[in-house]
């Protein structure tokens, strides 16, 4: 499974591509950030994020895109920019028919470190270890994008089984009792 992880942001949008399957060693195929100038017009910044994500999609051809689920913070302006960058990532994937998965920061931290309250340094250290890298990816947005991809690879099999079970239950329930 090849997953493009996106840690959305307007100034720095982390991007990372990981390949592998749960229970086996994973491989990093690429990592980086899409940067936009803080003083640029919002529409131009979003366009730059889109171009950057499209380049990564073209180059790496992922089967899934994992995006950090935006959560409420105290700074509304930051949340809005993050949500807008997140929407751009989802739009780019949808345009290509690539399934998108949203993972909360605590889900990602728990998957990678074992604790949903892990600090950024712990996430970076575990990403480095899990992907057998020489050093933690910099900036932290890049490491977070890789962590999102890892989280999705590890969680996807269980999520798929759950979705299939719900679909079977729903199909069985709609048939009703047989006479």
Say which range, 29-43, 71-85, 93-107, has the weakest mean pLDDT: 71-85
pLDDT at 167: 75
If you average pLDDT over every residue of the chain, what do you get? 92
**Is the Cα dihedral 168, 169, 174, 176 positive or negative?**
positive
84 three-class SS: helix
**Enclosing domain of residue 98:** 2-175
- Region 68-73 average pLDDT: 81
Q: Which residues are catalytic?
A: 7, 68, 141
Say which range, 40-49, 51-60, 109-118, 159-168, has the weakest mean pLDDT: 159-168
Give yes or no for residue 178 having a pLDDT over 60.
Answer: no
pTM: predicted TM-score of the whole model, two decimal places: 0.89
pLDDT at 131: 98
Torsion angle, alpha carbons of 72, 65, 50, 69, to 10: 0
Cα–Cα distance between 112 and 98 in angstroms, integer? 24
Say which range, 75-84, 124-133, 142-151, has the weakest mean pLDDT: 75-84
The total domain count for the chain is 1
pLDDT at 163: 66
Cα–Cα distance between 152 and 44 in angstroms, integer? 30
Tens of pLDDT, residue by residue over 10-25, are: 999 999 999 999 989 9
pLDDT-based confidence at residue 130 (cuts at 50, 70, 90):
very high
Cα–Cα distance between 57 and 132 in angstroms, integer? 24
Cα–Cα distance between 110 and 158 in angstroms, integer? 15
What's the CATH code of the domain at 74? 3.30.420.10
- Region 86-101 average pLDDT: 97
Cα–Cα distance between 132 and 54 in angstroms, integer? 27
- Region 102-107 average pLDDT: 95
Q: Are 125 and 138 in contact (CB under 8 A)?
A: no
3-state helix, strand, coil in the chain (%, to 5): 55, 20, 30
pLDDT-based confidence at residue 174 (cuts at 50, 70, 90):
confident
Percent over 90 (pLDDT), the chain: 78
């Amino acid at each position: 499974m090849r997953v493009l992880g996106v840690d959305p942001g307007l100034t720095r949008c982390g991007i990372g591509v990981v390949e592998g399957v749960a229970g086996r060693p994973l491989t990093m195929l690429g990592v980086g950030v899409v940067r936009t100038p803080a003083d640029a017009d919002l529409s131009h910044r979003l366009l730059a994020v889109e171009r950057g994500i499209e380049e990564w999609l073209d180059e790496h051809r992922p089967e899934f895109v994992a995006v950090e689920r935006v959560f409420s913070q105290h700074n509304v302006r930051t949340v809005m920019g993050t949500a807008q960058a997140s929407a751009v990532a989802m739009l780019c994937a949808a345009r290509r028919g690539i399934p998108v998965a949203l993972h909360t920061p605590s889900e990602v931290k728990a998957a990678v470190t074992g604790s949903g309250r892990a600090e950024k340094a712990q996430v970076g250290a575990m990403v480095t270890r899990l992907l057998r890298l020489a050093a933690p990816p910099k900036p932290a947005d890049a490491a977070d994008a890789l962590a999102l991809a890892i989280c999705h690879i590890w969680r996807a099999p269980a999520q798929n089984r759950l979705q299939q079970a719900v679909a079977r239950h729903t199909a069985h329930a709609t048939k009703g009792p047989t006479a």
